[in-house]
Structure 1
Amino acid sequence: MKIINKKNTFFLIIGILFMVFGCRKNAVKTIEQPIETIVNESLEFSLQQSLKMAESLKDKPNLLPKTTDRFGNLETCNSSWWVSGFFPGTLWYLYEYSNNKEVEKWANKYTLRVKDQQFTTDNHDVGFMIFCSFGNAYRLTKDEAYLEAIHNASKSLSTRFNTTTKTIKSWDSGGPNNNWQYPVIIDNMMNLELLMWSAEKFNSPEFKNIANTHANTTLENHFRKDNSSYHVISYDTITGKAALKQTAQGYNNESAWARGQAWGLYGYTIMYRFTKSPEYLKQAENIASFILNHPNLPEDKIPFWDFNAPNIPDTYKDASAASIMCAALIELSTYTNSANSAKYLKTAETQIRSLSSPQYRNALGNNANFILKHGVGHLPANSEVDVPLSYADYYFVEALMRYKKLKGF
């Protein structure tokens, strides 16, 4: 009888110890790491992953990373594709983080791969191409050798401004039935940073006038009453009026394509930074309110590819839209009132935690050495769906650096 009691006591003690240590282990898992730890760890990961990417293309001098195919193989582009400036820009941010001369070498090497795009006049993406690369290069090194490309790119972008429509033309043609006479997309707001910066640097007020006029016209025509944005507005070149309002890369013309909302949020935050115009601040806050209060924004704050996609939640999320939103919200938090600021930063912190988790961030050396996964390029065209995207990586690293600077760690 005593033996049985001892045996029972033994197993009881083992059971209690298992429960105690098991609960303690689970408790550790549920405790959130400090956001500073997550930011620094994600920057270190991004540094190592991007160095692997740089090495992988070192012997292909005309190519830059774009995305992957459905099998996870790297897809590249040449300098003329609109995303060409993002990988060089990512490297510059990582040089800023690390002060690593090897990273600076790679950043300069890949920046020079897009140098020829300073003379691009057939689309609006010269801002993405040149300012993300050469702009960051000059910001960090103050080497005036980078300035010529920035100045020329500003001149190139300015050639696409039309005094009748009061906008910068995005593409030269297109549309479902080739019916876009003068298409202007919400993405174009991002390229105004190039013009506003150049207006100050080169004492060129015409650049500022073009950017302000474009932003004002976009504010008038691109937004619905709920502050969501159309993707494309096609203008009548005779009257200057908005003739067609569509959402080419979203679910339908009246839906809120997630990355489009992110471009608008970021774009008007940029415009407020340069002008301190209350109208631009109010629009950025309005867009933020639409995004943050939308019932279809998930708890992890990574939006579905379109806020009005019919099969939510059984559809794709877009890490690229989240990264852009995150970078914009961090900056916008420094301009707005205290209540908004707290809300924006809380959302940005959630996005950083989500994007830094294994659910959205790749493992070292995986997925062709991109930082993030689960981006959506153009779902209606079945193009770049649920894949890594170079611009998702760029704005993620930018968001990390902005948060790190803001908090001073």
Structure 2
Amino acid sequence: MGYANVQYTILYYQYRDLSFQSFPFMGYPLQTDWISLPILHSFTNGFFSGIFWNLLEFNATENILKMAIDLTLPLAPVANVTDTHDVGFVIMSSYGHGYHLLKFPEYLQIIITAAMSLSSRYSPTVRCTRSWDSKEGFLVIIDNMMNLGLLFEASKQTNNQTWYNMAWQHANRTMYEHFRPDNSTYHVVEYNETDGSVIRKYTAQGYADWSTWSRGQAWAVHGFTIAYRYTKYQPFLDKAIGAANYFLSHLSSSTDLIPYWDFDAPHHSTINYQPRDTSAAAIFASGLVELSQYVIVPETKDYFLTSAKSIVDQLTSSTYLILGNKDYVLRAVIANGTQGPYPEKPYDVATVFGDYYLTQTILRLFKL
């Protein structure tokens, strides 16, 4: 966490000098500059401040608090965005975490406004919130489970049952449509907006329509764990456990815990290089720590918690840590993230979301 503090403090001053007009998205470890995206145009933009909220909760200082607040305030306009589901990602990792710690009423108002924006994307016919705007149909991606926390939290704070029902219905429909019998996940489900029927199931970032994109599986574990946190609905917990067991059983070995970018990509071949995805590992580990606290069976609880700790140990080893390679110059924490699909999109890169979920995992372990 100290290393993350050093790296991201330097980044904070770099982006402050640019008036916080854009935030880091991903970067190549051999290059000094991150690829940045404008404030309103990425699901990742809450994670920059989110890293500082994680650091603040881990070891509070006035300087960390100032940086967390400074990086949160520019995100306020995101609360009014209605053309993406990612408002949940952005607001809950920034204003949501900040409100949890500080209880600023103006932060709560941002959360409520953002929930109103996200709720505008809900279809009572499909019983889901729309992920991507498309002329093809009503598209829902597994990542969208992570946005439901915004609706659940806003409902909790305002007693708005409608928002709770929207989030519950979305999770329930996703539980039936996004999962295969073995608890692996489809990335995208396209629904008919007129009658709510399923048109097709496919991938946008994975290896193939039939394969399991590892970050999508991580979103599923984490997302259904959050859904259970707010609802205590047993089937959501069971689905999170099933998805977690699938993830763990499809890692290369008990000592090789960082997944390839897709579990079904032919990574056993000596000819075809397949990159890892450290962001998938970090997202999964964070969800697994929280999930372990809801599991009743002692053996499963211990297995999940021990696995999360082992994943963190590997992520912070010299293999994946930026610090572990003398040629790496990017201000980040871990390398070897993959956007997907490989090789069309960036791979073997640092990602702000990978660093965010790693620091979140360490914080969660620290608080146990």
**Distance in 2 between the 1:349 and 1:304 partners?**
19
SS of corresponding position for 1:244: strand
**Distance in 1 between the 2:253 and 2:183 partners?**
16
Give the length in aligned residue pairs. 359
Name the counterpart of 1:65. Answer: 24
**Distance in 1 between the 2:66 and 2:110 partners?**
19
Aligned with 2:95 (options 124, 129, 134)? 134
The answer to whether the Cα contact below 8 Å between 2:29 and 2:350 also exists between their aligned partners in 1 is no
Name the counterpart of 1:306. Answer: 262
Indicate the percent of aligned positions where both proteins have the same amino acid: 35
The answer to whether the Cα contact below 8 Å between 1:192 and 1:211 also exists between their aligned partners in 2 is yes
SS of corresponding position for 2:35: strand
Give the AA of the match of 1:379.
P
Give the AA of the match of 2:81.
T
Instruction: Write the mapping of 1:177-196 to structure 2, written as runs, cut at 5 A.
Output: 180-196=136-152
The answer to whether the Cα contact below 8 Å between 2:219 and 2:283 also exists between their aligned partners in 1 is yes
Name the counterpart of 1:56. Answer: 14
The answer to whether the Cα contact below 8 Å between 1:122 and 1:172 also exists between their aligned partners in 2 is yes
Aligned with 1:253 (options 197, 209, 228)? 209
Name the counterpart of 2:336. Answer: 374
The answer to whether the Cα contact below 8 Å between 2:260 and 2:267 also exists between their aligned partners in 1 is no
Q: 1:333 to 1:70 in 2, by over 3 A?
A: closer
Name the counterpart of 1:342. Answer: 302
**Distance in 1 between the 2:329 and 2:59 partners?**
23
**Distance in 1 between the 2:266 and 2:343 partners?**
17
Q: 1:378 to 1:279 in 2, by over 3 A?
A: same
1:54-75 C-alpha deviation (Å, 9 max, x unpaired): 1121111212111114752321
Structure number with larger C-alpha Rg: 1
Name the counterpart of 1:197. Answer: 153
The answer to whether the Cα contact below 8 Å between 2:29 and 2:330 also exists between their aligned partners in 1 is no
The answer to whether the Cα contact below 8 Å between 1:296 and 1:307 also exists between their aligned partners in 2 is no
How far off its partner does 1:114 sit?
1.2
Name the counterpart of 1:92. Answer: 53
In the alignment, structure 1 segments of 5+ residues that lack a partner are 1-42
Q: Which moved more, 1:286-295 or 1:118-127?
A: 286-295
Name the counterpart of 2:313. Answer: 353
**Distance in 2 between the 1:90 and 1:256 partners?**
28
RMSD of aligned C-alpha atoms? 1.6
SS of corresponding position for 1:139: helix
Name the counterpart of 1:37. Answer: none
Is 1:323 paired with 2:285?
no
How far off its partner does 1:368 sit?
2.6
Give the AA of the match of 1:51.
T
Name the counterpart of 1:109. Answer: 70
Give the AA of the match of 1:49.
Q
In the alignment, structure 2 segments of 5+ residues that lack a partner are none
Give the AA of the match of 2:70.
K
Displaced runs of 4 or more, over 6 A: none
With the length of structure 1 as denominator, give the TM-score of the two structures: 0.85
Name the counterpart of 1:387. Answer: 349
SS of corresponding position for 1:57: helix
The answer to whether the Cα contact below 8 Å between 1:68 and 1:367 also exists between their aligned partners in 2 is no
Name the counterpart of 1:124. Answer: 85
**Distance in 1 between the 2:131 and 2:60 partners?**
36
**Distance in 1 between the 2:34 and 2:128 partners?**
36
The answer to whether the Cα contact below 8 Å between 2:29 and 2:329 also exists between their aligned partners in 1 is no
